[in-house]
């Protein structure tokens, strides 16, 4: 959790005076957390207090949960009677020396927000925030949604897509397959939910299921929120059961009575391979399948689902609809065949045939993107990547190559990091900014320095605990945090409509990935977003592959370049 200035100052005073952490140990903590080069980036020799400020900026409330050695040094300065008391309560080991007791206490398993964490923090005179947030109760496997709240009315282009989708759903066999495409931020999830809820509502009572298939837990929760809102606004007399089949959730056969199964492809794929009774029941009574992020729908895991469904339901299966913002930015031959070449897009009139994005921008559905290139002068020689499978395969190999090797070099380049920090410091306070770093460690490094300069920043990674992640995102939406740094986790399913800046520090070769990143800031005023969004790309010199960088293929996209 991000710390306020008062807690930071109090903690630094405790660690440097009462607990007297030596310079060598503080330097060791910096090194362990990838912050050993910060002095070069900041261009200043730091005092012990300034180094601790960096650490607190990097780790926040997790400072003591991550280091047994730090807890040991703190406990060693507790009154002897406190050490003896807590050792007697919490340890069954033998040994009476003071050092033994200190070691055992420091190595006790740390559970955020639980008894020992709270005891350690209180006894040490630290703010309770350092005990961390306890894992909240797991969300239920299913929930019954009652009709209550009315969401905003669909816009004209959304109504058009909804009606076209319902018409497709009423077809049979291959004619009941389609893909809906709207720009990122254009409301495709809400549009699809409206159509499917209306079409399937009488079928739910017959025990039918809508399978909503997504790539991540975030996208699943986003779908559930939309389904809940839409169903609650209808004048239905019955409730709708929505099942969470992602993460650690499981579904019992006794839970099943029709409704919406929201799941990730990994979870469904594993269930298909196990051929259990649950998945047989769902597929047998499936009324329709919707695939979010449908540009991925030709992967082997999806193919297994299709074959399994045909085995149970026959060739006609059930209606299948894909949702995507990027149908034309990949090799779509297999994708087109899957959805029977039935791509549904809004009819915006002849004025917008050449550039439909202009319609959404002029009408304030999408923000107007301003693009800024910053040349880093970081140079990489020729990279020998050849692939006979075409352009897309080369780009995928480039992404993999950089992820494994060169991104780490970029993350450690001092001059490049100085340029990034200078750019970020010039962003006005109060502007919500997403930063895509080269690695997770790079995200921590940059965030720490920004906090050092008084710019409220946090890191969200795949290791960030869900309660903390939700809190960060909530604070970001409220304007309490200016910067969220991440690497690769906030590309889909992340909703912060007031985002004003997208800063891309990492090389990005994939058009799909790049458009997903940029899309986090494209919600327009009519959809609760902003009028403008600034996209800042840090551009390196790749002697062979400079033209492969995704931003080079988006020249038509920007309303302004600077």
Q: Where are the domains of the chain?
A: 5-131, 142-347, 360-561
Three-state SS for 352-410 is HCCCCHHHHHHCCCECEEEEEEEEEEEEECCCCCCCCCCHHHHHHHHHHHHHHHHHHHH
Of the candidates 443, 477, 448, the one whose C-alpha atom is nearest the C-alpha of residue 460 is: 443
Please classify residue 148 by burial: count the beta carbons closer than 10 Å to its beta carbon, then call 0-12 exposed, 13-18 middle and 19+ buried: exposed
Q: Is the Cβ–Cβ distance between 377 and 539 less than 8 Å?
A: no
pTM: 0.72
Amino acid 329: pLDDT: 47
Say which residue the tokens 């949604």 belong to.
145
Amino acid 137: pLDDT: 47
314-345 residues labelled b (16+ CB within 10 A) or e (exposed): eeebbbbbbbbbbbebbebeebeebbbebbbe
Instruction: Centre a 10 Å sphere on the Cβ of residue 6 and count the other Cβ atoms it contains.
Output: 9
Amino acid 184: pLDDT: 73
352-379 residues labelled b (16+ CB within 10 A) or e (exposed): eeeebbebbbeeebbbbbbbbeeebebe
DSSP lists the bridge partners of residue 259 as 209
Please state the φ and ψ torsions of residue 487, each to the nearest 5 degrees: -135, 100
Half-sphere exposure of 13 (CA within 13 A, CB side): 9
Please name the CATH architecture into which domain 360-561 falls. 3-Layer(aba) Sandwich (3.40)
- The series of mean pLDDT values per 10 residues for the chain, 562 residues long, is 86 94 94 90 92 91 92 95 92 84 93 92 94 65 59 86 92 86 82 91 92 84 86 85 92 91 92 87 94 82 90 88 67 65 82 82 90 85 52 59 76 93 95 93 94 92 79 86 87 73 87 78 86 91 60 78 78
Angle at 265 between CA 345 and CA 195, to 5 degrees: 35
Instruction: Centre a 10 Å sphere on the Cβ of residue 168 and count the other Cβ atoms it contains.
Output: 22
DSSP string covering 473-537: HHHHHTTS-SEEEESSSSSSS---TT--EEEE-S----HHHHHHHHHTT-B-GGGT--SEEEEEE
Of the candidates 538, 542, 541, the one whose C-alpha atom is nearest the C-alpha of residue 551 is: 538
Whether the domain at 142-347 and the domain at 360-561 fall into the same CATH topology: yes
Q: Give the span between the Cα atoms of 130 and 382, in whole angstroms.
A: 48
Superfamily name with CATH number, domain 142-347: P-loop containing nucleotide triphosphate hydrolases (3.40.50.300)
Q: How many residues does the chain have?
A: 562
CA distance from start to end of the chain: 35
């Amino acid at each position: 959790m991000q710390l306020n200035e008062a807690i930071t100052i109090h903690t630094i005073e405790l660690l440097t005076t009462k607990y007297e952490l030596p310079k060598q140990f503080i330097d060791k903590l910096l090194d362990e957390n990838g912050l050993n080069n910060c002095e070069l980036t900041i261009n200043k020799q730091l005092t012990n207090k300034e180094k601790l400020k960096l650490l607190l900026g990097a780790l926040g409330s997790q400072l003591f949960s991550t280091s047994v050695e730090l807890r040991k040094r703190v406990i060693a300065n507790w009154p002897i009677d406190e050490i003896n008391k807590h050792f007697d309560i919490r340890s069954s080991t033998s040994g009476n020396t003071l050092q033994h007791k200190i070691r055992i206490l420091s190595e006790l398993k740390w559970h955020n927000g639980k008894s020992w964490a709270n005891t350690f923090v209180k006894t040490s005179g630290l703010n309770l925030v350092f005990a961390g947030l306890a894992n909240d109760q797991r969300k239920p496997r299913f929930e019954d949604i009652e009709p209550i709240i009315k969401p905003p009315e669909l816009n004209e282009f959304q109504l058009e897509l909804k009606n076209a989708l319902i018409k497709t759903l009423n077809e049979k066999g291959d004619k009941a397959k389609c893909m809906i495409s709207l720009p990122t931020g254009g409301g495709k999830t809400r549009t699809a939910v409206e159509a499917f809820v209306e079409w399937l509502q009488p079928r739910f009572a017959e025990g039918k299921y809508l399978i909503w298939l997504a790539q991540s837990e975030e996208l699943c929760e986003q779908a559930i929120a939309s389904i809940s809102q839409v169903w609650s606004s209808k004048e239905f007399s019955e409730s709708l059961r929505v099942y969470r089949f992602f993460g650690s959730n499981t579904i019992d056969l006794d839970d099943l009575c029709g409704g919406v199964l929201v799941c990730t492809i990994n979870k469904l794929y594993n269930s298909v391979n196990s051929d259990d009774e649950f998945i047989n029941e769902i597929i047998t009574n499936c009324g329709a399948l919707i695939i979010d992020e449908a540009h991925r729908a030709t992967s082997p895991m999806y193919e297994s689902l299709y074959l399994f469904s045909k085995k149970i339901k026959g060739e006609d299966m059930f209606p299948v609809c894909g949702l995507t913002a990027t149908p034309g930015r990949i090799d779509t031959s297999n994708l087109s065949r899957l959805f029977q070449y039935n791509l549904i897009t809004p009819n915006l009139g002849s004025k917008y045939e050449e550039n439909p994005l202009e319609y959404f921008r002029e009408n304030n559905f999408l923000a107007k993107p301003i693009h800024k290139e910053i040349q880093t002068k970081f140079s990489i020689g020729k990279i020998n990547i050849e692939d006979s499978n075409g352009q897309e395969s080369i780009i995928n190999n480039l992404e993999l190559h950089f992820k494994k090797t060169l991104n780490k070099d970029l993350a450690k380049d001092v001059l490049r990091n100085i340029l990034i920090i200078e750019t970020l410091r010039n962003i006005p306070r109060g502007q919500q900014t997403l930063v895509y770093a080269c690695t997770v460690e790079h995200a921590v490094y940059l965030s720490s320095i920004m906090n050092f300069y008084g710019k409220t920043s946090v890191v969200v990674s795949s290791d960030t605990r869900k309660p903390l992640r939700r809190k960060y995102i909530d604070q970001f939406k409220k304007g309490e945090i200016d910067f969220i740094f991440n690497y690769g986790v906030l590309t889909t399913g992340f909703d912060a409509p007031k985002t004003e800046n997208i800063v891309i520090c990492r090389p990005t070769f994939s058009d799909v990935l790049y458009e997903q990143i940029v899309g986090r800031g494209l919600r327009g005023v009519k959809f609760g977003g902003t009028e403008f969004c600034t996209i800042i790309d840090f551009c390196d010199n790749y002697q062979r592959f400079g033209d492969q960088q995704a931003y080079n293929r988006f020249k038509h996209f920007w309303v302004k370049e600077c």
